[in-house]
């Protein structure tokens, strides 16, 4: 969806002659530069507005490939791009790397640690983070995957487990070090489990002398009845079959009761000794609901109407994973990148409509299908009528992810990395860095 600017072709520089006029240009403040926020900002590139994008990180992250950083397949810079680089040529956009403390909806101000930033329109796109359902003590034993720093820490944890197993002479410790548990059977959990299995059985299988890395145990624990619940049941079964062929043990209908140094305890009493537990289970929206004083659903998402406004605030739009929305067609909108992008562009369109005195048509979500990858030549794809699995689905997955990657250079380099990885069964970024580095 492209936006028709109020004064098409008008460039801010041309319009603003005096500060008076400048003061009259609507100020659009966007919180968060994920898929939603960034698409809202770029959709406003020719609009006579002042756009301010606030994010506490300096980069836009291509979340769908973050698991590949966590499993040493890609480098951070290949899936992350500086926000101000992306908006470098958009002269009506200012990027501030800052942490939002609160929103003063009465005064129309965003409050950060250092200053107050007034807005005429506010777009809240602060996304979601993982949740331990109240058991925050599990975090240190079972890290989740949301940021680049999470990913490199998980990468270090996985690789260090093999290194420590090679060094130790204690068979029980070695067994524990060679057991990897992934909690949560959604796309991220499936991708992580598949990637760890491939790492141990293909990539590093010739690298060790004292252990057999391919003997590593990879367990995927899902509380529900099937993995990939967003997929049709037949594809969940296919995905599970492909995981099991890679050597992943899939445990269904069994939730985690506890995590500690020794490993994982499941509700049915099963204990799995592991030194590397990865958390891909619950997701909780950011604190946005508290900021704007709006009602939230159980996942902390702000409940908005079909114009993405919280009740009583037509100047505020909540989009992406932060929003709980049922679209014009009556469907709940899923927390996926395409939905966030569409909501971002809709918010821009609605703001321009409001400036022109038009009442925008309600938001309508276009579902382009659903993809999940398991490993080399293994994936599932759901396009409504068309359903793919195995090699064809894997090809579609590769193509789609390369296509949507930001920046030509990244596309080229990632393609190169994937080609080499495919040919050599290698992974480019097997580095143990950060606090694991003595």
User: By the criterion CB under 8 A, which residues form the site for a copy of itself?
Assistant: 56-59, 75-78, 80, 82, 84-85, 88-89, 94-99, 112, 114-115, 147-149, 152, 159-160, 163-164, 166-169, 204, 206-210, 409, 412-413, 416-417, 420, 426, 428-434, 437-438
CA nearest neighbour of 393 among 242, 219, 247, 248:
242
Which residues have a Cβ under 8 Å from the Cβ of 305 and sit 6 or more positions away? 311, 325
User: DSSP letter string over 129-154?
Assistant: EEE-TT-GGGGGTS-B-SSHHHHHHH
Strands 323-324 and 302-303: parallel
Residue 301 φ/ψ region, left for φ over 0, alpha for ψ in the -120 to 50 degree band, beta for the rest: beta
Nearer Cβ to a copy of itself, position 4 or 433? 433
On the 0-12 / 13-18 / 19+ scale of CB atoms within 10 A, 242 is buried
SS3 state of residue 197: helix
Q: How far is the CB of 174 from a copy of itself (least distance, A)?
A: 12
- The tokens of 164 are what? 């420590």
- The tokens of 375 are what? 């490993």
On the 0-12 / 13-18 / 19+ scale of CB atoms within 10 A, 222 is buried
Q: What's the helix, strand, coil split of the chain in %, to 5? A: 35, 25, 40
Are 405 and 65 spatial neighbours (Cβ–Cβ below 8 Å)? yes
Work out the angle at residue 260's Cα, subtended by the Cα atoms of residues 257 and 262, and round it to the nearest 5 degrees: 110
Q: How far is the CB of 62 from a copy of itself (least distance, A)?
A: 13
Checking 10-18 for CB contacts under 8 A at 24+ apart, the result is 10/46, 10/48, 11/46, 11/91, 12/48, 12/50, 12/91, 12/92, 13/91, 15/48
Question: How far is it, in rounded angstroms, from Cα 38 to Cα 149?
Answer: 21
On the 0-12 / 13-18 / 19+ scale of CB atoms within 10 A, 160 is middle
Q: How far is the CB of 215 from a copy of itself (least distance, A)?
A: 17
Question: How far is it, in rounded angstroms, from Cα 118 to Cα 111?
Answer: 9
Q: How far is the CB of 436 from a copy of itself (least distance, A)?
A: 9
| Residues annotated catalytic, as ranges | 191
Question: How far is it, in rounded angstroms, from Cα 17 to Cα 19?
Answer: 7
């Amino acid at each position: 969806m492209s936006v028709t600017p109020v004064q098409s072709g008008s460039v801010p520089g041309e319009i603003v002659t005096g500060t008076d006029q400048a003061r009259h240009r609507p100020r659009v403040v966007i919180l968060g530069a994920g898929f939603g926020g960034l698409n809202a900002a770029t959709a406003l590139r020719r609009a006579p507005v002042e756009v301010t994008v606030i994010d506490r990180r300096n980069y836009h992250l291509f979340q769908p490939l973050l698991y590949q950083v966590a499993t040493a397949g890609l480098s951070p810079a290949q899936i992350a791009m500086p926000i101000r680089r992306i908006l470098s040529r958009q002269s009506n956009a200012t990027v501030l790397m800052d942490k939002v403390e609160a929103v003063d909806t009465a005064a129309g101000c965003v409050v950060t640690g250092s200053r107050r930033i007034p807005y005429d329109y506010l777009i809240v796109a602060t996304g979601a983070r993982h949740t331990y359902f109240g058991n925050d003590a599990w975090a240190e034993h079972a890290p989740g995957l949301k940021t680049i720093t999470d990913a490199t820490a998980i990468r270090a944890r996985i690789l260090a487990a093999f290194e420590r197993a090679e060094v130790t002479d204690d068979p029980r410790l070695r067994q524990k070090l060679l057991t990897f548990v992934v909690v949560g059977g959604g796309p991220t959990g499936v991708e992580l489990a598949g990637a760890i299995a491939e790492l141990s059985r293909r990539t590093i299988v010739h690298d060790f002398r004292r252990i057999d890395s391919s003997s590593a145990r990879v367990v995927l624990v899902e509380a529900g009845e099937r993995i990939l619940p967003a997929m049709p049941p037949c594809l969940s079964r296919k995905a599970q079959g492909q995981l099991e062929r890679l050597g992943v043990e899939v445990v269904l209908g069994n939730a985690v009761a506890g995590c500690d140094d020794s490993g994982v305890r499941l509700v049915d009493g099963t204990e799995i000794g592991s030194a590397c537990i990865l958390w891909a289970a619950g997701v909780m929206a950011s604190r946005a609901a508290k900021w704007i004083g709006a009602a939230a659903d159980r996942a902390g998402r702000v409940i908005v109407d079909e114009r993405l406004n919280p009740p009583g605030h037509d100047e505020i739009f909540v989009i992406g994973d932060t929003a709980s929305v049922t679209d014009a067609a009556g469907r709940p909108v899923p927390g996926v990148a395409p939905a966030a992008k569409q909501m971002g562009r809709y918010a821009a369109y609605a703001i321009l409509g409001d400036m022109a005195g038009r009442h925008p048509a309600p938001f309508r979500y276009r579902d382009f299908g659903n993809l999940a990858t398991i490993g080399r030549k293994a994936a599932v794809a759901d396009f409504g009528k068309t359903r793919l699995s195995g090699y064809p689905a894997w090809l579609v997955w590769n193509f789609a992810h390369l296509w949507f990657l930001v920046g030509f250079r990244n596309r080229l380099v990632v393609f190169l990395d994937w080609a080499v990885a495919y040919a050599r069964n290698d992974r480019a970024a097997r580095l143990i860095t950060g606090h694991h580095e003595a």
